[in-house]
Structure 1
Amino acid sequence: MTENQHHINKCKELIEEKVGWGSSAGWQSQDFDNLSELIYKQTNVVLSTSTLKRIWGKVQYNSNPNLSTLDALAKFSGFSNWRTLTSSIPIADQNNKEELKRRPPAKIAYGCLILLILTGFLIGINRFQGKSTNELSYRKISFSSKPVTTGVPNTVIFEYDASHSNADSVFIQQNWDSKRRIKVDKNRHEHASTYYRPGYYRAKLVLNDSIVKEHDIFIESEDWMGFITKEPIPMYLPKEMIDHGDWQGLKQQDIPQSTNNYNSEIPEFVLTQVSRGWNIDSKNFTLSLAIQNTYQQLNAPCQQSGITLLGTDGIIMIPLSKPGCVGELQLWIGEQLLDGTSNNLSAFGVDFSSPVAVKCVSKSGKIKIELNDKLAYQGLFPTGIGKIVGVRVFFQGSGLIKSFDIRDTAVLPH
């Protein structure tokens, strides 16, 4: 056993102890799906189910995991990175002594060595001749899509051709989330998916575990639209229910009675607008609006709300709640996640008795957020989130926005 494999095995043992699902010998595919989700929630790193199955020996694969994969596993098991894990778990001397006892006589050892060399030589020739089944190969790959209508709901027809490949599995991934992969028939060429929410999506064609093609999908809204979140299909609200002239939103008395029940889950109301025509530079923009959560029911004391800017390369999510609930908030700035359980987000605790003025400014590689003219957050923002193409505003219960404005400040005169 190599030193690296020894530490991989120890890391797997720690993870199995942590999740408490019993011996991994009895794990099913769903267990690896769940583990992938847990690792993502804790480390913000996506390790696919296929990758985890290889590491746990459920799928035959000869290559070693890369360092980024090992770092994610180490973080999930309680260490800061892979190097810290390997230095904290040394290989015991007793293990080495036992290994010496088990060593065969010299002649047998030399014979085994020669056999290994010959085997390695034959494997090398086989790979050189392109006969390795582990290495993905493909040609003439195509992938495109087209929505059948405008607005939502909207069915998108994907056209693909992966028949000229040695892939065992072909997937269409509808957006950034690798868990939203749908397996499709390798020998067919069309697949339809229905989108129920306006948004920007980056669709991907995945062969085995490799992304080989991707393109943009825009599900646009003509103007502000509102819905109450339900799975799998949201409850769309008529325009006259949310458009009140100088403000957009939903009155508490207009929430359908079936969802306005103390014993039911808190309804989530969403206002959204998506248009490729926005095309705003996320490195140079100014957002301003007033937002108010107006839901006064006893089952929603936190009045959680939030503003999410949708970019072609990520999101910015500004959370708001009553001051006593800020520990439950999450602030997203591109790839950076600040969780209220381990970061002080008290500045995002607000009084919703009147509209809260929100301002977000990105400029010169930095970003800042102000609430009622007071600085709530500032930090570096060197890469941005691509082009901003839409916004979603959500409320626990009911709420409103007014004076919404977003503009590309890079084109404004000095």
Structure 2
Amino acid sequence: MNEQALVKTSVLEIFNKNGYSDLTRMTQRDYDHIGELLQEKSGILISGTTIKRLAHGEFTRLPQIATLNAIANYYNYKTWQDFKASKTEEGPEKGSAKKLGRRFSIKYLSVPAAIIMLGSLYFFRSTNGTVSHAEKASFSFRKNTRNDLPNSVVFSYNIDEVQADSFFIQQSWDKNRRIRIYKNHYTLTDIYYEPGYHLAKLIANDSVIRTADVSIPTDRWFFYAIDNIANYSTQYIKVDTFNHNGSLGLNIQQLQKNNIEVSKDKRYHYVYFPSQMNIPADNFQYKTRVRMQEVRNSLCPYIEIELYCQRLFINMRCTTKGCAHEAFVGFGEQLKKGSDNDLLPITFDVSQWTDIEITVKNKVAVVKINGKEAFSTRYTTDTKYLAGLGYISNGLCEVDRVELYSLDGRVMYKNEF
């Protein structure tokens, strides 16, 4: 196996270890998730775009040494060379013979040809796509509009001493919100259309070299619809009241009043982000009672419970038993998809009231559906503090009760509506 094949195989194995078995089903968010896992393990920032390119074998030269070392660190090797040595099947004699062969072939080239060949190799391996002096970059931000939405954020940066082919600022995980920047410019004003805890990224080529935590809380329930997750066009749903018959929810008339085309396939978001974040994401209890009503006929109606963390997510998609392959559960680096895991226990009739309970103690998670344990896992990622909570569905959720508090009793949110 050559070195490029080893890179691709190693990355695909990381995907498999984290529940991604089908590249065709992966989203950019999934690739960013893998990049964040590698950062947790190695301390080296790698963009999701780079991860995607390596997984698909879309590279003609080896990645930067930092990227290779991050992959090696994931497998508990200090450097890529150590990792590569552990995988090679060549003995010392065979390796020496190959080196001798290379020396022989160069020896019998003409001197000018050898100089041109070696110079070309050096040039392409040392300059094309590499990043140098990344530590000299600076990156910060300020919000011009407090916590209003849309929110105008001014990024300040300095990349003058960084050596790279191109530079970008990316709002969060969505690569479609990536804007190119240039040297000798120091300010970029961008717009955030959604609330939440965002990790903005300063990118050189495909490597994340600086990050900034951008928090845009709501301190109230906030509603919006997304027409197509690929385009990620956000439509706000402004309402006078969201309490119907003793539960949190919206109705179709409110959607139509906000010019939401209910005939289209959409994802409806109910989210709550507090200003204060003091509940650790590895020790908490969450209880809710929820159901959904369909807006349009769907073969696989679903409810997604999402607990937003400062790093990564805790989320779960529950759907009907016949659509169990569409279900998923994610805690930190542990993502289990119904397509290659038995997630039938977390499926139910989402049109009926259902009690869901999630307890996490020292990064051991247990999910209960109607009082019965349905799923459990252990994760290692430091997700830091809980930053918000949300309900997402291809219909309209109704929430009868929600409680979210730390195991020592501190309350982040509690409401019986």
CA distance in 1, matches of 2:276, 2:188: 28
1:148-188 deviation digits (Å, cap 9, x = unpaired): 21231112111111123333322212224567532212211
CA distance in 2, matches of 1:188, 1:251: 47
DSSP-derived class of the 1:354 partner:
coil
1:135-146 equivalences in 2 (<5 Å): 136-137=132-133, 141-146=137-142
1:30 maps to: none
Distance 1:409 1:400, change over 3 A: same
Given the alignment, which residue of 349, 367, 374 partners 1:369? 367
Would you say 1:163 and 2:163 are equivalent positions?
no
**Contact 2:144 2:152 (8 Å CA) reproduced:** yes
Distance 1:85 1:291, change over 3 A: farther
1:287 maps to: 286
Distance 1:70 1:180, change over 3 A: farther
Query: Aligned letter for 1:295?
Result: E
Q: Highest CA radius of gyration, 1 or 2? A: 1
CA distance in 2, matches of 1:178, 1:8: 27
1:66 maps to: 68
1:327 maps to: 325
Would you say 1:259 and 2:255 are equivalent positions?
no
1:357-406 deviation digits (Å, cap 9, x = unpaired): 11111113311111111111112134452100101211112221121111
**Contact 1:36 1:52 (8 Å CA) reproduced:** no
Query: How far does residue 209 in structure 1 lie from its aligned partner after superposition?
Result: 3.9
CA distance in 1, matches of 2:250, 2:207: 44
1:188 maps to: 185
Would you say 1:202 and 2:199 are equivalent positions?
yes
1:154 maps to: 151
Query: Aligned letter for 1:393?
Result: Y
1:23 maps to: none
Identity %: 22
Distance 1:344 1:393, change over 3 A: same
**Contact 2:131 2:162 (8 Å CA) reproduced:** no
DSSP-derived class of the 2:408 partner:
helix
Query: Aligned letter for 2:298?
Result: A
DSSP-derived class of the 1:239 partner:
coil
**Contact 1:283 1:382 (8 Å CA) reproduced:** no
Q: Greater shift after overlay, 223-232 or 311-320? A: 223-232
CA distance in 1, matches of 2:251, 2:335: 32
**Contact 1:36 1:47 (8 Å CA) reproduced:** no
Query: Aligned letter for 2:167?
Result: V
1:404 maps to: 402
Query: Aligned letter for 1:247?
Result: S
CA distance in 2, matches of 1:133, 1:317: 36
Query: Aligned letter for 1:242?
Result: F
Query: How far does residue 111 in structure 1 lie from its aligned partner after superposition?
Result: 9.1
DSSP-derived class of the 1:151 partner:
coil
CA distance in 2, matches of 1:39, 1:401: 27
CA distance in 2, matches of 1:39, 1:243: 32
Query: How far does residue 290 in structure 1 lie from its aligned partner after superposition?
Result: 1.0
CA distance in 1, matches of 2:271, 2:4: 51
1:226 maps to: 223
CA distance in 1, matches of 2:287, 2:29: 35
1:22 maps to: none
Distance 1:300 1:36, change over 3 A: closer
CA distance in 2, matches of 1:6, 1:371: 45
Distance 1:151 1:190, change over 3 A: same
CA distance in 2, matches of 1:397, 1:50: 31
**Contact 2:332 2:380 (8 Å CA) reproduced:** no
CA distance in 2, matches of 1:60, 1:412: 49
DSSP-derived class of the 1:255 partner:
helix
Query: Aligned letter for 2:379?
Result: F
Distance 1:228 1:104, change over 3 A: closer
Distance 1:332 1:10, change over 3 A: closer
Distance 1:168 1:352, change over 3 A: closer
CA distance in 1, matches of 2:135, 2:72: 31
Query: How far does residue 412 in structure 1 lie from its aligned partner after superposition?
Result: 5.9
**Contact 2:303 2:393 (8 Å CA) reproduced:** yes
Would you say 1:244 and 2:207 are equivalent positions?
no
Q: Greater shift after overlay, 389-398 or 336-345? A: 389-398
1:275-304 deviation digits (Å, cap 9, x = unpaired): 23133111111111111111164x213221
1:45-56 equivalences in 2 (<5 Å): 46=48, 48=50, 52=54
Distance 1:139 1:387, change over 3 A: closer
1:311 maps to: 309
**Contact 1:228 1:236 (8 Å CA) reproduced:** yes
**Contact 2:29 2:173 (8 Å CA) reproduced:** no
Aligned residues: 358
Distance 1:187 1:317, change over 3 A: same
Query: How far does residue 52 in structure 1 lie from its aligned partner after superposition?
Result: 4.9
- What are structure 1's unaligned runs of at least 5 residues? 15-33, 73-80
CA distance in 1, matches of 2:282, 2:4: 45
1:278-337 deviation digits (Å, cap 9, x = unpaired): 33111111111111111164x213221111111011101111111111111221111111
2:19 maps to: none
**Contact 2:302 2:319 (8 Å CA) reproduced:** yes
CA distance in 2, matches of 1:327, 1:135: 41
Query: How far does residue 219 in structure 1 lie from its aligned partner after superposition?
Result: 1.4
Query: How far does residue 350 in structure 1 lie from its aligned partner after superposition?
Result: 1.1
Query: Aligned letter for 2:293?
Result: T
Query: Aligned letter for 1:255?
Result: L
1:31 maps to: none
What is the TM-score when the length of structure 1 is the normalising length? Answer: 0.71
CA distance in 2, matches of 1:86, 1:47: 28
**Contact 1:47 1:69 (8 Å CA) reproduced:** no
Distance 1:354 1:7, change over 3 A: closer
CA distance in 2, matches of 1:386, 1:221: 20
CA distance in 1, matches of 2:171, 2:223: 23
**Contact 2:28 2:174 (8 Å CA) reproduced:** no
